[in-house]
Amino acid sequence: MSDYTPTERTKIRRKPNRAVYDEAAIHAILDEAFVCQIGFAMEGQPYVIPTNYVRVGKRLFLHGSAASRMFRALAAGTPLCLSVMLIDGLVLAPTATGHSINYRSVMVLGKAQPIEDAQEKFAAMRAFVERVIPGRWPGVRPPSEQELKATMVLAVPLNELSAKVRTGPPIDDEAEYARDVWTGVLPLKLTPGAPLPDPRGKVSIPVPEYVRNYSR
C-alpha cells in the first residue's frame, strides 16, 4: 500500500478522520469521475472552470482549445488547484445540523505541463475517449494532425494532493434518537439513462454493448 504524503497545504485539518492519503483509494476516485474543477487566479481574481480529465499513471491529462485563456494561462505555469468530487448520498440525521452528504473528493495542487510531442498528444486523446467510454476508440476517426495542433493537452502531476471521504450513517448523539423521525442514507449515483440515437446516425447500427452497459 502506497501513500501520498500530505504537505502543509494538502493536510486535512477540518474533520481529519475523513482524510484519505492512500494512493489506490485516491486513484479509484480519480478514475470514477471524469470532470474536475480547475481553480486558478488572474489579476487577483480566482476562477473555477469545469473540464474533462483522465488519469494516466501519476498524471492527470486536460485538454482544451489552444485559444482558451485558461489553457494558455495554465500552460504558462499559473499555479492551479484541481478539485474532483463524487456525490454518494444524502445523510438524514435526527438533528438539522447532523445532516450531511456522503462524498469522495480529491484536491490536487501544482502546475500543468504542456504536452508538445504529437505522439504523446495522440496517446492522451486516445485516453480521453477510451477512459471516459471504454471500448469507444477503435470505431471513431482518430484526431488529424490539424486537430492535434488546435488542441492543447496539459499534464498535471499527482505530487501534492489529498482526498476527503465521508461514508456511512448519521453520527448524532444517542440522545437525539428519541425523536420519531426516519434516519439513514439516501444513496445517489450518476446513472445512465436510455441511449439517445443521433438523428444523423445510421439506424442500421445497433447501440454498442459499451453504451448499453455503461457504468462508472
Q: Which of residues 122-181 bind a copy of itself (CB under 8 A)?
A: 125-126, 128-129, 132-133, 136-137, 139-143, 147, 151, 169-170, 174, 176-177, 179-181
Query: From the centroid of its chain, how far is CA 117?
Result: 25
* CA distance linking residue 129 with residue 115, whole number of Å: 17
3-state SS class at 101: strand
Number of residues that bind a copy of itself (CB under 8 A): 94
Question: Nearest distance from residue 120's CB to a copy of itself, in Å?
Answer: 15
Nearer to a copy of itself, 2 or 70 (CB): 70
13 lies in the binding site for a copy of itself (CB under 8 A): yes
* CA distance linking residue 118 with residue 151, whole number of Å: 11
* CA distance linking residue 111 with residue 73, whole number of Å: 10
Near a copy of itself by CB under 8 A: residue from 3, 11, 47, 76: 47
3 lies in the binding site for a copy of itself (CB under 8 A): no
Residues with Cβ < 8 Å from 57, sequence gap 6 or more? none
118 lies in the binding site for a copy of itself (CB under 8 A): no
Looking only at residues 72 through 111 of this chain, which bind a copy of itself when binding is defined by CB under 8 A? 79-83, 85, 87, 89-90, 92-97, 99, 101, 103, 105, 107, 109
Query: What is the per-residue burial (b if ≥16 Cβ within 10 Å, else e) of 16-36?
Result: eeebbbeeebbbebbeebbeb
Looking only at residues 14 through 33 of this chain, which bind a copy of itself when binding is defined by CB under 8 A? 14
Nearer to a copy of itself, 64 or 155 (CB): 64
- Contact of 160 with 21, CB cutoff 8 Å: no
3-state SS class at 34: coil
* CA distance linking residue 53 with residue 154, whole number of Å: 10
Looking only at residues 174 through 213 of this chain, which bind a copy of itself when binding is defined by CB under 8 A? 174, 176-177, 179-202, 205-208, 211
3-state SS class at 118: helix
Near a copy of itself by CB under 8 A: residue from 26, 38, 62, 155: 38
Task: Considering only the stretches 24-32, 43-51, 54-62, 113-121, report the one whose residues sit in contact with a copy of itself under the rule CB under 8 A.
Answer: 43-51
Q: Which grid cell sits at 45?
A: 481574481
3-state SS class at 87: strand
57 lies in the binding site for a copy of itself (CB under 8 A): no
67 lies in the binding site for a copy of itself (CB under 8 A): yes
Nearer to a copy of itself, 24 or 194 (CB): 194
Q: Which grid cell sits at 145?
A: 494532425
